[in-house]
Amino acid sequence: MSSPGPAVHTNGQVHTNGIVRAPAAERDDARPPVIQVTDLVKDYARGSNVVHALRAVTLRVQPGEFVTVMGPSGSGKSTFMNLVGCLDRPTSGSFLLDGVDVPSLNRSQLADLRNHKLGFIFQGFNLLPRMNALENVMLPMVYAGVSGNIRRQRGHAALEAVGLEDRAHHRPNEMSGGQQQRVAIARALVNAPSLILADEPTGNLDSRTSVEIMAILQRLNRAGATIVLVTHEPDIATYSSRTVLFKDGTLVSDQPNRLIVVASDTIAGWPAREEEAA
Ligand code: ADP
């Protein structure tokens, strides 16, 4: 027997158990994939043994997707992210990043591709402690050879996009973990990358701050950013549009999330933070 199903509201959102969910954004299948890996293999030598970290992984990610990568420890998630992040080379298989054949590139071409096409967000924020927020955000543009004035303008705009314009001149140790991660997100955005790679971005944050970070990532995704995010937390995956699961170096599941939890609506239902209420 079929259940009556959740009530659908006029704005297309669905409320189930008090949680606001929205249908997945349309992925853009008309454009070429941002990630296209085919039969990707990565073996590591360990003494006289070979570790098969990735076994013939095939995956396509279209522009506008928000994909969560999950799987137990040792399943190959980091290996996959390192390859997609152009930080390591596959043993075999093909990998096109935004149409570019990555395995054929030399070291400096790879560095260039990383700088222009990828934005990285890490669990530990990885901000430079002696630089303020604006300087940290401007750094990828220094490597990309963007002129000083434009660096400053784009740096301020990126900080504004994550709601931190008023912290531009604060150093990381003068900011909370959530604020540092927002600076790191701004830094990931400044070169308008084709893909944002986030490795456990909420792993060092409390639950509430985690949802705030997911709200920012969802906003960026709605504005067109393609995001691939690794997490151990099933809750975090509910904010993305698709979840892939690794096990023993193999992709064992690849599911669209038909209804996505809307992080900003989750936050709207909470009481104000003490410091905000004061
Ligand atoms: P996960 O990120 O899911 O925890 P990893 O990609 O780190 O998994 O690891 C997959 C497998 O590859 C594991 O068995 C791990 O021990 C092995 N591995 C990862 N990196 C190396 C390396 N540099 N040298 C040897 N083995 C490695």
pLDDT single digits (tens) 44-78: 999 999 999 999 999 999 999 999 999 999 999 99
* pLDDT at 273 (0 to 100): 75
Tell me, what CATH number does 76's domain have? 3.40.50.300
pLDDT single digits (tens) 233-246: 999 999 999 999 99
Q: Classify each residue of 72-97 as buried b or exposed e, where b means 16 or more C-beta atoms within 10 Å of its C-beta.
A: eeebbbbbbbbbbbbebebeebebbb
Residues of the chain above pLDDT 70, percent: 90
82: confidence class by pLDDT, cuts 50, 70, 90: very high
Centre of ligand 1 to C-alpha 57, Å, is: 15
What is the total count of domains within the chain?
1
* Cα(236)–Cα(4) distance, integer angstroms: 27
Residues of the chain above pLDDT 90, percent: 82
Question: How remote is the C-alpha of 42 from its chain's centroid?
Answer: 22
pLDDT single digits (tens) 122-136: 999 999 999 999 999
For residue 32, which amino acid is it? P
Q: Which of 40, 46, 49, 51 to mutate to test the pocket of ligand 1 (most atoms within 8 A of CB)?
A: 51
- Averaged pLDDT score across all residues of the chain: 91
**Beta partners for 105?**
none
* pLDDT at 4 (0 to 100): 45
Q: Are 157 and 137 within 8 A, CB to CB?
A: no
Report the nearest-CA residue for atom 15 of ligand 1.
Answer: 74
* pLDDT at 51 (0 to 100): 96
> Is the shortest distance between the CB of 107 and ligand 1 below 6 Å?
no
**pTM of the entire structure?**
0.91
For 148, other C-beta atoms within 10 Å of its C-beta total 10
Give the residue numbers spanning the domain of 174. 13-26+63-85+106-267
Does the residue 272 lie in any domain? Answer: no
DSSP string covering 215-270 = HHHHHHHHTT--EEEE-S-HHHHTTSSEEEEEETTEEEEEEE-SEEE-HHHHHHTS
Does the residue 3 lie in any domain? Answer: no
* pLDDT at 176 (0 to 100): 97
> What average pLDDT does this structure show over 159-184?
97
> Is the shortest distance between the CB of 46 and ligand 1 below 6 Å?
yes
* pLDDT at 95 (0 to 100): 97
